[in-house]
Amino acid sequence: MNLLISLVLIVLIVWAFERLYLRGVRLGDYPVPGDPDAVVTFTSPGGPGPEHFAVIEKVRELTTQISREVRKRDLHAARAAIDSISDEHDYISRFFPVDAGGIPAEWVIAPGADSTRRVLYIHGGGFIMGSAKSHRTMTSKFSEISGCAVLAIDYRLMPEHKHMDFVEDCRTAYVWLLDNGPDGPEAVRQLFFGGDSAGGNLALSLAAWVRDKGLRTPEAVVALSPLTDLTFSGASIQTNEVTDVMLAPMLRILNRLPRSMKSWSVVWKHKIRPANPIASPLFGDLAGLPPTLVQASEAEMLLDDARRYVYKAWASGSPAKLQTWSDMVHVWQIFDPDLPQAVEAWEEIRKFLEARTPG
């Protein structure tokens, strides 16, 4: 009898620990921002177009290849596959490696870029793959439309490293970037953060850390399809599984797990509490943040991560803006200029940054 009572108590303690600590408080429903310009949806009257379906096929081929390599436990080959995305393009920018305070990185410089105006760009890839090389389409375009020198960092990845390792890499690179440009030591005059998917998560987390430390705040943050909730409580994680051709192959297994097992899975992989605001910016204090533009697809599994972050930020008094596109794949902006909706998205980013550029 005593053994049975002990077992019941252990089960209750484990359940309470997961439900109240790992998963954290239940997130509330935040109102739609009152400003009609704060939430905008873009649609194509004639449908997504043939370019979209070509992108779908390309994504399916890539995710199939990556999934195959991951199943074979050949993470090196999976990372090489995603890095190969950049091989197909011609770039107007120059790329050259740099040591950013001990963090491997590369400068991306489009013609006419001002070395005193800089972007810290953090790539996506589920925290396990991706690199400055894989995201050159993004970083080159960012430099082109902003007139800034872009620092793209190669932060440490899982499973070799834990979540706080790549968080610290982002912080280190940020501090270095304040006093160093592509031509050597030089104070920054204007600063932006950018990131996609997992990199969007890290960019939003970094913005909150900079605010809390009273450090030099970026003029704006751009987060593309960001992961903001490592507890995976957003409804679109489930409802958009059928329409998300990029993330579904990786997140489908997660959707089959009981909610409590998802929490322990994050603890095991990331070595951090899922509801910790460092890992899940949605759980943090979103007041006093810089102007933030979030773009996401209505068809992707992280739609509610983007939507809830902007709604909460707006309700907290921070100038956040959400732009969504129907039908697009996760981080479709990487398919610029082949995809018209990617061209459209980058034009919106350009206007957003231009509005925050003095003169």
pLDDT at position 12 over 70: no
Q: Domain range spanning residue 82?
A: 28-354
Lowest mean pLDDT among 80-89, 182-191, 206-215, 330-339: 80-89
**Number of domains present in the structure of the chain:** 1
Contact call for residues 132 and 139 (beta carbons, < 8 A): yes
- CATH code, 113: 3.40.50.1820
Q: Per the domain annotation, does 343 fall within a domain? A: yes
- 300 labelled catalytic: yes
In a domain, 300, yes or no: yes
Say how far apart CA 323 and CA 242 lie, in whole Å: 22
Closest among 176, 163, 127 to 278, alpha carbons compared: 163
Nearest to 187 by CA among 195, 175, 179, 177: 179
139-168 mean pLDDT: 98
Q: Which residues make Cβ contacts (< 8 Å) with residue 210, sequence separation at least 6?
A: 174, 216, 217, 218
Residue 330 placed within a domain: yes
State the catalytic residue, choosing from 69, 280, 330, 348.
Answer: 330
- The residue from 197, 225, 263, 318 that is catalytic is 197
Active site residue 61: no
Query: Can you give the pLDDT at residue 77?
Result: 93
Distances (CA, A) of 322 to 40, 69, 222, 311, 349: 6, 35, 10, 9, 11
- For the chain, counts of helices (H) and of strands (E): 11, 11
Average pLDDT over residues 121-141: 97
Q: What is the pLDDT of residue 153?
A: 98
Catalytic-labelled residue, pool 140, 300, 318, 348: 300
Q: Which pLDDT tens digit goes with each residue over 154-208?
A: 999 999 999 999 999 999 999 999 999 999 999 999 999 999 999 999 999 999 9
Residue 8 lies in a domain: no
d(CA 242, CA 269): 25
What pLDDT is attached to residue 261? Answer: 81
Residue 89 annotated to the active site: no
Q: Which tens digit of pLDDT belongs to each residue from 26-37? A: 777 788 898 888
